[in-house]
Amino acid sequence: MISVEHLTKYYGDFLAVDDLSFEIEEGHVYGFLGPNGAGKSTTMNIMTGCLSATEGHVRIDGYDIFEEADKAKKLIGYLPEQPPLYMQETPAEYLRFVGEAKGLRGLRLNEQVEEVIRQTKIGEVRNRRISALSKGYRQRVGIAQALLGNPKVIILDEPTVGLDPIQIIEIRALIKELGQDHTVIFSSHILSEVQAICDQILMIADGRLAAFDEPGNLEKRLLSPNEIIITADAEPEEIRDILALAAHITDVAMEEKKSPFTTACLKTDHENIYEASRSVFEAFSKKGKALLEMNLRKASLEDLFVELTEGSGADTVPEAESETDTEPEAKKEVRR
Amino acid sequence: MTAVFRHELRMYFHSLTAYVFGAFLLAFVGIGSMLYNLQAAVSNFEFVLSFGCLVFVVIVPVLTMRVIAEERKQKTDQLLYSLPITTTQVILGKYLALLVVYLILLCIICLYPLIFSQFGDVYLLTSYGSLFAFFAMGAALIALGVFISSLTDNQGFAAGIGIAVILLNYYSVSLSEYVSSTALGSVIAMCVLVLAAGGIIYCLTKNENLAYGFCFLFIVGILLIYFFDTGKLEGLLPDIMAKLSLFERFYVFVNGVFDVTALVYYAAAAVFFLFLSVQSLEKRRYN
């Protein structure tokens, strides 16, 4: 469907994309994952013909995006990072313009505009000025624009950034829905989002492809073992003694004692983390000590993400992510 | 192209731009015809137009300042790049929309000579000939405005530069009388111009060799002419300044001559600036 071959992009002397190659197959939802400044937007801009490449080719269904721009662009719908909206217009007017520019006329134009308005659920604001719309609605109008002309591939650049939790959930549901009829590529720096929606993940760091696989396979690649965090009504020494009896526990690290209880972080090498937690529970009950809390922390894509992107340079600084999402989010974001 | 054209036209009437442009143009031409045709009782409508063309200095930049600068600012240019239309179509669509706004106003102005002819003898041929030239000159200036707007993402800046450039063009004939007309003066001025052009070429293409090559070729050429045929450079600079004036060619029409070369000149200027606009838009892709 889309083939990207040896894509390289320099901004002056700055290397933004470095010899990137991958193939996008039809009928999947692809997540484009990477820290800020990794080259996600640059790559997407090149794939959609908004930017030239210093070297390399992008082909959409065999059409080169620069040589046969007209044919290639008809196969793509693109929502840039900032939705390209004309503020003085209403969504209905705006969508008619984009539809016309995509070559739709007359009845087909009307049908398509109605169709995308229905799909993105912007019917109630269709005659309000875009400048008066909330960010969530603007994003939807942007997505509606990308859907016009029924393109095979839809490329969305960080479609959930800056939205509130409910809007984020709605947009994610919309992306999932789109994935049924279209090939969708969307970028994000939020892992749980990509994990939840995509069936293929492209991880990109420093302009290079760091990983490209299904989420499940990526998790399997993880090197860091699973962890169990426990809080017990016992002294640290006692806990050590008790856990010496438990099977599958390879390492015990006590955390600083703040309350009368003790918290410890256990590591296991057993592939089924429940086997390890069962043995911990049984060891405590045998000794008659109370196990107050037990949290299982499975190795996740976050670890892989940090692992893959941290190696990319000494200038990466972990930073607290201020996501308002209700799901456990990436707590660590790597920013240039 | 039609999509861009219709969209632009709608945008002009959605916002104040078209109305401000129209109000200024009609007010100026109105005042002119009041002064010449009514008070002074002159039956030549072309004098009104020659008076009215000063208004271009302000209204053309007002009309064209947002045409591309605003697209950049709002990042809507990304949409235009990703749509299956070429940059040439984008520029032509926008330019035609501007011309239509301008033509609508000229249609209103077209009625004035007819009205005056009800009350006396009006030279309709020269009136409409001048009106046609007025349209052609406006079209060339609008193309210049589009190009200036394509250079920046700041509307105010585009308007300021536009006013300065058109004002300079308006006064270039008067100014040409004050500049040096000696051969040496011309050589120096030409060298400065060539260097400035080289600087612009470098800014647009980021290609040092091309800019150096351009400057070198032209400066060597000028120096050769200076050493072998000094007479040719005598009075060259004032000549060039006068030739570049779009307004000067319009006064020929006012004097009752339908000058086809001037029309070709206006058309060439419009095509030249539109071509530059396309290049300027295209260049954003290659930054």
Confidence of residue B29 (pLDDT cuts 50, 70, 90): very high
Residue B149 identity: S
Q: Which of A170, A190, A216 marks a domain boundary?
A: A216
Q: What is the DSSP letter of A265?
A: E
Asked if residue A126 and residue A273 are part of one domain, the reply reads no
Query: How far is residue A114's CA from residue A96's CA, in Å, rounded to a whole number?
Result: 10
Weakest-pLDDT range from A160-169, A189-198, B135-144, B217-226: A189-198
* DSSP annotation string for B243-266: HH-HHHHHHHHHTT---HHHHHHH
Q: Are residues B110 and B90 in the same domain?
A: yes
Measured in angstroms, the CA of A59 and the nearest CA of chain B are apart by: 15
Q: Are residues B18 and B128 in the same domain?
A: yes
The rounded distance, in Å, linking the Cα atoms of A53 and A41 is: 13
Q: What is the pLDDT of residue B141?
A: 95
Is the pLDDT assigned to residue A294 strictly greater than 50? yes
For residues B150 and B280, membership in a common domain is answered with yes
**Interchain contact B7–A (C-beta under 8 A):** yes
* Nearest alpha carbon to residue A151 among A118, A125, A185: A185
Domain annotation covers residue A308: no
Distance CA A3, CA A24 (A): 6
pLDDT tens sequence across A193-220: 888 888 888 888 888 888 888 877 777 6
Q: Please indicate whether, in this complex, the C-beta atoms of A85 and B86 are within 8 angstroms of each other.
A: no
The pLDDT of residue A299: 64
**Is B6–A100 a contact, with Cβ atoms under 8 angstroms apart?**
yes
Q: What ipTM was assigned to the predicted interfaces of this complex?
A: 0.85
Q: Which residues, at least 6 apart from B97, have a Cβ–Cβ distance to it below 8 Å?
A: B4, B5, B6, B8, B9, B12
B interface mutation test: which of A47, A97, A98, A129 has the most B CBs within 10 A? A97
Chain A: give the shortest CA distance to residue B285, in Å. Answer: 4
Predicted confidence at residue A300, as pLDDT, reads: 66
Per-residue confidence (pLDDT) for residue B265, from 0 to 100: 94
In this model, does residue A286 exceed pLDDT 90?
A: no
Mean pLDDT confidence for B189-218: 85
- Reported in sequence order, the residue ranges of B195-280 that DSSP labels E, i.e. its strands, are none
Q: Is residue B27 domain-shared with residue B161, that is, in the same domain? A: yes
Give the burial string for A48-65 (b: 16+ CB within 10 Å, else e): bbbbbbeebbbbbeebeb
**Could you tell me if B92 lies within 8 Å of chain A, comparing CB atoms?**
no
Q: Which of A98-112, A233-247, A270-284 has the highest mean pLDDT?
A: A98-112
Tokens describing residue B127:
């009136």
CB contact under 8 A, B82 and A48: yes
Q: What's residue A193's pLDDT?
A: 82
**Using CB atoms, which residue from B3, B78, B85 is nearest to A50?**
B78
* Residue A272, burial from CB neighbour count under 10 angstroms (0-12, 13-18, 19+): exposed
CA-nearest residue to A48 within chain B is: B82
- Residue to mutate among B13, B83, B85, B153, with most A CBs inside 10 A, is B83
Question: What does the pLDDT look like over A256-267, one tens digit per residue?
Answer: 777 788 888 888
Are residue B118 and residue B14 in the same domain, yes or no? yes
Nearest-angstrom CA–CA distance, A206 and B282? 27
Domain count, chain A: 2
B73 lies in the same domain as B187 = no
Structural domain for B149, as ranges: 2-173+245-285
* Mean pLDDT (whole number) for B262-284: 92
The pLDDT of residue B201 is 81
Whether B115 has its CB under 8 Å from any CB of chain A: the answer is no
Nearest to A92 by CA among A78, A72, A77, A109: A109
Contact A45 B78 (CB under 8 A): yes
- The minimal CB distance from B83 to the residues A85, A86, A101 is found for A101
| Claim to verify: residue A257 and residue A178 sit in the same structural domain | no
Residues B146 and B221 in one domain: no
Instruction: Assess if residue B240 is contained within a domain.
Output: no
pLDDT at B268: 95
Give me the torsion for CA of B25, B271, B69, B243, rounded to 10°.
-60
Interatomic CA distance for residues B213 and B217, integer angstroms: 6
Any chain A CB within 8 A of the CB of B83?
yes
Give the CA distances from residue A230 to residues A241, A277, A292, A295, B67, in Å, rounded to whole numbers and listed in that order. Answer: 15, 10, 8, 6, 64
The domain containing residue A271 runs over which residues?
226-297
Inform me whether the C-beta atom of residue B97 falls under 8 Å from chain A C-beta atoms.
no
- Which residues are A156's β-sheet partners? A79, A186
Task: Please indicate if any CB of chain A lies within 8 Å of the CB of B85.
Answer: yes
Residue B229 buriedness (CB in 10 A; 0-12 / 13-18 / 19+): exposed
Condensed to tens digits (0 to 9), the pLDDT of residues B32-59 reads 999 988 888 888 888 898 888 889 999 9
- The 8-class DSSP code of residue A36 comes to B
Closest approach of chain A CAs to the CA of B273, in angstroms?
23
Choose one of A216, A236, A263: the last residue of a domain. Answer: A216
Do A263 and A171 have their domain in common? no
| Claim to verify: residue A150 and residue A231 sit in the same structural domain | no
Domain-terminating residue out of A216, A237, A263: A216
Residues B59 and B81 in one domain: yes
Q: Are residues B155 and B194 in the same domain?
A: no
pLDDT of residue A323: 37
Interface test with A, best of B82, B88, B94, B205 (most A CBs within 10 A): B82
What CATH number is attached to the domain comprising A240?
A: 3.30.70.3100
Q: How many CB pairs under 8 A join A and B?
A: 71
SS3 B6: helix
Domain assignment present for B239: no
pLDDT of A321 > 60? The answer is no
Whether A35 shows a pLDDT value over 90: the answer reads no
**Partner residues linked to A268 by β-bridges:** A226, A249
Using a CB–CB cut-off of 8 Å, the residues of A that contact B are 11, 45, 48-52, 69-71, 73-74, 76, 78, 80, 82, 84-89, 93, 97-98, 100-103, 145
A18 residue type, one letter: D
Please spell the DSSP secondary structure of A175-222, one letter per residue: HHHHHHHSEEEEEES-HHHHHHH-SEEEEEETTEEEEEE-HHHHHHT-
CA distance B198 to B216: 9
Give the mean pLDDT of B80-91.
92
B219 and B79, same structural domain? no
